[in-house]
């Protein structure tokens, strides 16, 4: 921590306490954390100070601290005041990688939490299994998918883990082209996506019969809502042309994979702007135990994306600022560990060279 930042923190703590005393809601700043983009103060209120009174002073506190926004929440640690770090630092996969490798099998790196700890997601764990990523354009969904996929490829041999990418827009997974972990090049065409999912279902059934789950297969889907809608349109067109019953929908295929895939070693990581019931059924959404939610438009969108209320995902700053939400645990805020396309290709090529020269 720089001397300037330390002085800044001391001054801001004094400002908070002054505002509270002035409004007869005294309290003391007793600690906190400095994250890559956010500072969190822990407030110990006086016995007579009510949480509602502190929350009512959020605007006055933001003005006193000279920050664009200030978030107040109650946690097991007490009352937390959260505001932007004046010295934000970039969080990158390359810089973070030496701190986490070697990763456990089928474990993806997500980013860095507010308290400076790397955040991981072990897909083979029942509490994770499948991951739903939500957020508006610019929230960092695609960057998060790329980070997860690249970290899985770097940490696992192709014989142990395979990647399958469905990409209706054809832009999300270009960094993985040529990677030995890919079962096939990223799938763009809707007809190929349907065939791919049907093949996965057949494989799942065979694995169930044989009692095997190796190698693990992680299916990355960018803009899953678009994929479902395109599939519905194609099915409706085929039904109108042939006069026969509508073929199995993409949503049905995904639901079956989400319900039974984990035991067969198949995991879904799907991203969408808004997982609304109008596009993705409640049954499908319920089979994603882990939600990674970036900035959304409204509190209602935050509730839909997170699967529960009061996460304040609509107050996130975007550009990789995310919440990890699973089970009944409190949401974990983190910054995505960014890696660009070219840099990802270089790291994957470096890994392949290392494995060839070492004889792995």
> What are the domain boundaries of the chain?
3-84, 93-358
pLDDT of residue 243: 64
pLDDT of residue 353: 81
Global pTM reads 0.89
- pLDDT exceeds cutoff 90 at 147: yes
- pLDDT exceeds cutoff 60 at 360: no
Model confidence at 327, pLDDT cuts 50, 70, 90, reads confident
Residue 155 in contact with residue 347, Cβ under 8 Å?
A: no
For residue 301, the number of C-alpha atoms closer than 13 Å in the C-beta half-sphere is: 16
The CATH superfamily assigned to 93-358 is P-loop containing nucleotide triphosphate hydrolases (3.40.50.300)
**Average pLDDT over every residue of 288-295:** 96
CA dihedral 26, 32, 34, 37 (to 10 degrees): -60
- pLDDT exceeds cutoff 70 at 307: yes
Model confidence at 29, pLDDT cuts 50, 70, 90, reads very high
- pLDDT exceeds cutoff 90 at 234: no
**Average pLDDT over every residue of 76-101:** 91
- Percent of the chain whose pLDDT exceeds 90: 75
**Average pLDDT over every residue of 332-358:** 91
- pLDDT exceeds cutoff 90 at 31: yes
The partner residues of 325 in beta bridges, in order of sequence, read: 291
**Average pLDDT over every residue of 136-163:** 96
Domains 3-84 and 93-358 share a fold: no
CA angle, 326 as apex, 142 and 317 as ends, to 5°?
Answer: 45
**Average pLDDT over every residue of 136-153:** 96
CATH code of 3-84, in short, is 3.30.980.40
- pLDDT exceeds cutoff 80 at 358: no
- pLDDT exceeds cutoff 70 at 127: yes
Rg of the chain, C-alpha, whole Å: 23
Token pair for residue 204? Answer: 């799942």
Give the SS3 label for residue 121.
strand
pLDDT of residue 241: 75
């Amino acid at each position: 921590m720089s001397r300037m930042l330390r002085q800044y923190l001391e001054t801001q703590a004094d400002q908070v306490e002054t505002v509270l005393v002035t409004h007869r809601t005294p309290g003391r700043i007793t600690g906190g954390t400095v994250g890559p983009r956010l500072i969190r103060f822990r407030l110990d209120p006086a016995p007579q100070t009510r949480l509602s009174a502190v929350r009512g002073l959020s605007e006055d506190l933001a003005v006193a601290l000279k920050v664009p926004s200030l978030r107040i929440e109650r946690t097991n640690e007490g009352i937390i005041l959260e505001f932007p770090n004046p010295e934000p630092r970039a969080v990158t996969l390359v810089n973070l990688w030496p701190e986490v490798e070697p990763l456990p099998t089928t474990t993806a790196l997500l980013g860095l939490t507010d308290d400076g700890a790397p955040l991981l997601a072990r897909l083979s764990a029942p509490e994770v299994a499948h991951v739903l990523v939500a957020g508006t354009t610019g929230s960092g969904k695609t960057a998060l998918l790329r980070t997860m996929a690249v970290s899985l490829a770097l940490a696992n041999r192709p014989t142990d883990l395979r990647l399958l990418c469905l990409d209706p827009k054809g832009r999300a997974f270009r960094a993985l082209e040529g990677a030995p972990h890919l079962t096939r090049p990223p799938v763009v065409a809707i007809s190929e996506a349907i065939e791919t999912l049907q093949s996965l279902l057949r494989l799942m059934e065979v694995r169930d019969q044989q009692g095997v789950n190796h190698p693990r297969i992680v299916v990355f889907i960018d803009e899953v809502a678009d994929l479902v809608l395109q599939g519905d349109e194609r099915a409706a067109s085929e039904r109108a042309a042939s006069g026969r019953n509508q073929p199995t929908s993409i949503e049905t295929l995904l639901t079956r994979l989400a319900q039974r895939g984990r035991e067969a070693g198949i995991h879904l990581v799907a991203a969408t702007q808004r997982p609304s019931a109008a596009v993705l059924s409640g049954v499908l959404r319920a089979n994603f135990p882990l939600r990674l939610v970036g900035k959304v438009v409204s509190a209602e969108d935050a509730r839909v994306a997170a699967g529960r209320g009061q996460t304040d995902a609509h107050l996130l700053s975007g550009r990789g600022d995310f919440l990890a939400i699973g089970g009944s645990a409190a949401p974990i805020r983190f910054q995505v560990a960014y890696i660009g396309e070219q840099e990802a290709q270089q790291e994957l090529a470096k890994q392949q060279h290392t494995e060839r020269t070492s004889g792995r």
